[in-house]
Each structure stands twice: as structure tokens, then as C-alpha cells.
């Protein structure tokens, strides 16, 4: 089994359900030394068929009009029984939390690592620390709610789409065809 990790950066992180899988890391930034240097809008140039696409906190880095191109690229690189796992910030949660908390846009919401605060501004517009360092790849150009993410995946040609809220994140599984029993067991669905 092989997974295409879209926009994974230098970490090459994959959740435990991909233990034992081979991974091809695709990233636009050659400095993170990906297996494939490519803009995710150009996935149609790839011919390899993958069992899964994993895309964590990358889709929001595209403009809204580019998202369909990226998601259609996911369907292009997947084999007939393939699926995509997509995680993005949950803007519904973010807006509600911001209003209820009484905090300011620059106040920390959480820490991604000790001493690495993430503010509402970072969640909306991209990680300021990285952008101040000159890395514009971290800019957020669009956002999603549970409903809008589900619609975008369905419009891209996925036959079965499941989206769930995980407080400040949305996690979606999108299948090119009906998920197999093995897939639902592996993914804990």
C-alpha cells in the first residue's frame, strides 16, 4: 500500500493507520526535501496511482477557486478503490470560539509545541512566525466548515464523503468508490 502525503513538509508525519505503508511526500517547497517537488494544483501531471492521499493542514493554503483543481488531482492520482484523508482548520469552531472566548485575534488559542503559540490570526491567515521568516507557503488563502469541505470533496468526484469535527479541526475521508470493509476497519470508521 502506498500513500501520497500532499504538503507534508519536512515532518513526513502520517497517522498510525498508515503504519507499514510506503509514502511519497509531495511538497512545493524543495527545501523540505520531498520525494516529489510539485504544486498540488499540478497533480494531473502524475501518473502513479495511489491507495490513499493524506493531506493535513494544506488545503487551506490554496485560494477557493484552486481547491477544486487540487481535489480533482486527488481523484486523478488515486486508484479505483483509493481514498483521501483531509484535515483542515474548522472555521465554524474558530469563529464560535473567538466570539465566546472574549480573546483578541492575536491571543494564543493553543501551542503547537512548547513555546510555539498559535493565535486566532495564525489559524485564519497562516502561521505568522513562518511567514515573518520569509516562507509565504504558510499563508492561508481559504477556509472550510464541515458543510463546505464535504461539498468540495463531493464536487471533485468522490462517491462517499464523511466529514467530522474534531474541535478546532475537520477530518474528512473521501472515497472514489464505496469503502471496503477493510478500509473502514483500518480507518476506524
DSSP-assigned letters across all residues of 69-106: HHHHHHHHHEEEEEEEEEEEEBHHHHHHHHHHH---TT
- Give percent of the chain above pLDDT 90: 65
Q: Which residues pair with residue 108 across a beta bridge?
A: 119
pLDDT digits (tens, 9 = 90+) for 51-62: 999 999 999 999
Mean pLDDT over each residue of the chain, to the nearest integer: 92
End-to-end CA distance of the chain: 19
As a whole number of angstroms, the distance between CA 59 and CA 67 comes to: 7
Q: What is the pLDDT of residue 18?
A: 94
pLDDT digits (tens, 9 = 90+) for 148-187: 999 999 999 999 999 999 889 999 999 999 898 888 888 8
Q: What is the pLDDT of residue 26?
A: 96
Say whether pLDDT at 128 is over 90. Answer: no
Average pLDDT score over residue span 58-79: 97
- Nearest by Cα to 123 from 136, 139, 146: 139
Q: Could you give the count of Cα atoms lying within 13 Å of 159 in the half-sphere of its Cβ?
A: 11
Higher-confidence residue: 8 or 175? 175
The answer to whether the CB of 55 falls within 8 A of the CB of 36 is no
Say whether pLDDT at 130 is over 80. Answer: no
- All three cell numbers of 110, joined, read 493553543
Q: What is the pLDDT of residue 136?
A: 80
Q: What is the pLDDT of residue 3?
A: 97
Give this prediction's pTM. Answer: 0.90
Q: Where are the domains of the chain?
A: 2-89+142-187
As a whole number of angstroms, the distance between CA 164 and CA 167 comes to: 9
What CATH homologous superfamily does 2-89+142-187 map to?
A: Vaccinia Virus protein VP39 (3.40.50.150)
pLDDT digits (tens, 9 = 90+) for 90-106: 999 999 988 999 989 99
Amino acid at each position: 500500500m502506498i500513500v501520497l502525503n500532499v504538503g507534508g513538509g519536512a515532518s513526513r508525519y502520517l497517522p498510525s493507520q498508515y503504519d507499514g505503508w510506503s509514502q511519497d511526500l509531495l511538497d512545493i517547497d524543495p527545501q523540505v526535501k520531498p520525494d516529489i517537488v510539485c504544486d498540488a494544483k499540478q497533480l494531473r501531471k502524475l501518473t502513479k496511482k495511489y491507495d490513499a492521499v493524506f493531506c493535513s493542514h494544506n488545503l487551506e493554503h490554496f485560494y477557493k477557486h484552486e481547491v477544486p483543481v487540487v481535489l480533482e488531482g486527488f481523484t486523478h492520482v488515486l486508484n479505483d478503490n483509493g481514498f483521501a484523508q483531509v484535515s483542515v482548520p474548522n472555521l465554524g469552531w474558530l469563529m464560535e470560539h473567538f466570539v465566546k472566548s472574549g480573546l483578541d485575534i492575536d491571543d494564543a488559542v493553543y501551542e503547537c509545541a512548547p513555546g510555539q503559540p498559535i493565535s486566532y490570526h495564525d489559524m485564519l491567515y497562516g502561521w505568522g512566525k513562518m511567514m515573518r521568516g520569509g516562507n509565504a507557503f504558510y499563508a492561508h488563502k481559504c477556509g472550510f466548515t464541515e458543510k463546505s469541505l464535504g461539498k468540495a470533496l463531493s464536487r471533485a468526484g468522490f462517491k462517499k464523503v464523511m466529514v467530522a469535527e474534531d474541535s478546532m479541526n475537520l477530518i474528512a475521508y473521501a472515497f472514489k468508490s464505496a469503502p471496503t470493509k477493510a478500509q473502514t476497519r483500518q480507518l476506524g470508521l
